[in-house]
Amino acid sequence: MKKLNWQEPLALFDIAQTRQLESLASARIQHGPSLMDQAGLAVAKLAMAIQPFAPCYWIFCGPGNNGGDGLEAATHLKKWGRQVRVVLWQADLQRPTDAAKALHKAQALGISIQADLPSEVGSQDLCIDAMLGIGLRTPASTDSEAQMQSWIESIYKFGADVLAVDVPSGLNANTGQFQNNSNAPHIQARHTLQLLSAKPGCLTALGRDACGALWLDALGSEDLQQSTQAIAQLNVASKPVNQALHASHKGTFGDVAVIGGEDLDARGMGMRGAVDLAASAALHAGAGRVMVCYLSSNAKTSRMPEIMQRKLEALNLKTGAIVCGCGGGLAVLKILPKVLQESMQLVLDADALNAISKDLWLRDLLRLRSAKRMSTVITPHPLEAARLLNTNSAAVQNDRLQAAQTLADDLKCTVVLKGSGTVIAKTGQTHMINPTGNASLATGGTGDVLAGLVGARMAQGMPEFEAACAAVYEHGQAADAWNLPTLTAGKLAELIRGPQTASWSPSLCGT
């Protein structure tokens, strides 16, 4: 068993894949504890580790194998001399074979088993949620299912810490969404122990908040996982970009040009700041030269003296990386065809994506880039992704992995679907789900910073998919390192780190 480390590679498996792993792992057990017994032991060990002196361990057991895991945990805790109370959902139901055996073992040990929710639970007790796990199937439609949902909500409202078995009950292990989104604020475990495999739903959408601290016990299935194609991978820190040698010059780390910033009088909104933020991020990320092209007839010089201003006709779109769309407004429509057809390395964000979502010709130009071996990364938030998919943001959020993959397949590019557990997708690549970042990124301009950072990593020689993965991780990592109440986008850009510089050792010098 291990607590998940965001810096270590980790394969993520969906429900169907986990079921397959479970079947393979069970089939090879000839003697010794069953897979359910091993799972129950893992739950009991973690319960003791996180709350060793709990006055009582309340274990809420559902009708399936997740409930069986909870019953096995109860027997172990009882044998260790702990106070255990089992709350059993519909005790007269016929349970799966292993779960029925676990119930019989608990009864034989004289464990207190009740069929009704307790009226209260002590604040120092530990609640173990073994109601559904990955067994969630359909939204509540019958009285029994509605009552089940009521039970699940109650577990998380007693006020005691909750340890969820596999996933918090009601959370879709594939998508990170609840069957009833209104329950999301209430169902937040302090700890979640994933069994057999790590699931993507625990790392994206609402899963990040619902699961709390994530733990994993593969129950000896590591070798089986290696022979199974994972649906996604955890995005981890990439290798640093090339070290900045002493003999480097400003051309060593490439050029980034940011195009955007609509006139103030075009729509009553001025958005030059979006360009400045993206450019600042590229600059702090170590790009050799950073240029800005404001789509504004009255734009003044850049706010940063290190950043060079260019007219569009003066930009060589075939060199360096182009970041287009930040604060582009309606003005971006005029220059997008040229940018899409000439830029060898391109990051599209914000209004560039909105323009493409409304224009079939622009969409076709974007698709054609891949055939011409031009690199493209798009960085939509859920609403921008919904516009590109001709749907709504709720549909995108309901299956973020699928939405990102659909966009990647359709538009022939790398997709960075921003949000909690940002998803990076490209046709032929395993999805990446990013673990870094926090709510401090939920402020205007942080997306522009990410676009500039992606551009810098592409300019420094990273392929588009790897550049997107690296930039998303670093972007979130910078936010995680900030420990003051408010993180502005401008400050975030300044926290981005560039290439490592070569070290100088005094031992090399004469004395």
Question: Are residues 465 and 368 part of one domain?
Answer: yes
What pLDDT sits at residue 242?
56
What pLDDT sits at residue 141?
59
Q: Under the phi-then-psi rule, with left for phi > 0, alpha for psi from -120 to 50, and beta for the rest, what region is 364?
A: alpha
Does the residue 266 lie in any domain? yes
> What backbone torsions phi and psi does residue 257 show, to the nearest 5 degrees?
-120, 130
Question: Are residues 311 and 221 part of one domain?
Answer: no
Question: Domain range for residue 473?
Answer: 255-495
Does the residue 362 lie in any domain? yes
Select from 155, 160, 128, 158 the least CA-distant residue to 43.
128
Question: Are residues 282 and 190 part of one domain?
Answer: no
What is the three-state SS of 143-197?
HHHHHHHHHHHHHHHCCCEEEEECCCCCECCCCCCECCHHHCCCCCCCEEEEECC
**pLDDT greater than 60 at residue 140:** no
- pLDDT tens digit string along 279-315? 999 999 999 999 999 997 665 666 788 899 999 999 9
Strand partners, 344: none
Question: Are residues 417 and 275 part of one domain?
Answer: yes
**Tokens read off for 397:** 């959020």
How far apart CA 396 and CA 403 sit, in angstroms, is 6
- pLDDT tens digit string along 234-246? 999 876 655 555 5
- pLDDT tens digit string along 145-171? 888 988 999 999 999 999 999 999 999
CA 167 to chain centre: 16
Does the residue 180 lie in any domain? yes
> What backbone torsions phi and psi does residue 299 show, to the nearest 5 degrees?
-70, 140
What pLDDT sits at residue 302?
64
Does the residue 510 lie in any domain? no
Whether the CB-CB separation of 205 and 173 falls below 8 Å is answered with no
- pLDDT tens digit string along 263-275? 765 555 557 899 9
Does the residue 165 lie in any domain? yes
**pLDDT greater than 60 at residue 177:** yes
- Tell me the longest C-alpha to C-alpha distance in the chain: 86
Select from 423, 430, 434 the least CA-distant residue to 401.
423
Instruction: Examine the fold and report which residue of 214, 229, 244 is the final residue of a domain before the chain moves on.
Output: 229
Select from 182, 134, 168, 101 the least CA-distant residue to 16.
134
How far apart CA 169 and CA 139 sit, in angstroms, is 12
> What does DSSP assign to residue 138?
S
3 state SS of 322: strand
- pLDDT tens digit string along 338-388? 999 999 999 999 999 999 999 999 999 999 999 999 999 999 999 999 999
What pLDDT sits at residue 46?
98
Q: Which amino acid is at 100?
A: A
Does the residue 245 lie in any domain? no
Does the residue 61 lie in any domain? yes
CA 377 to chain centre: 18
Question: Are residues 381 and 457 part of one domain?
Answer: yes
Select from 361, 364, 399 the least CA-distant residue to 382.
399
Question: Are residues 341 and 303 part of one domain?
Answer: yes
Q: How many domains does the chain have?
A: 2
**Tokens read off for 190:** 């302090």
Does the residue 123 lie in any domain? yes
Question: Are residues 363 and 461 part of one domain?
Answer: yes
Question: Are residues 85 and 224 part of one domain?
Answer: yes
CATH of the domain at 390: 3.40.1190.20
Question: Are residues 344 and 426 part of one domain?
Answer: yes
**Tokens read off for 289:** 């030269």
Select from 257, 259, 240, 276 the least CA-distant residue to 459.
257
Select from 295, 372, 310, 380 the least CA-distant residue to 341.
372
Question: Are residues 335 and 206 part of one domain?
Answer: no
Question: Are residues 219 and 273 part of one domain?
Answer: no
Question: Are residues 302 and 363 part of one domain?
Answer: yes
CATH of the domain at 75: 3.40.50.10260
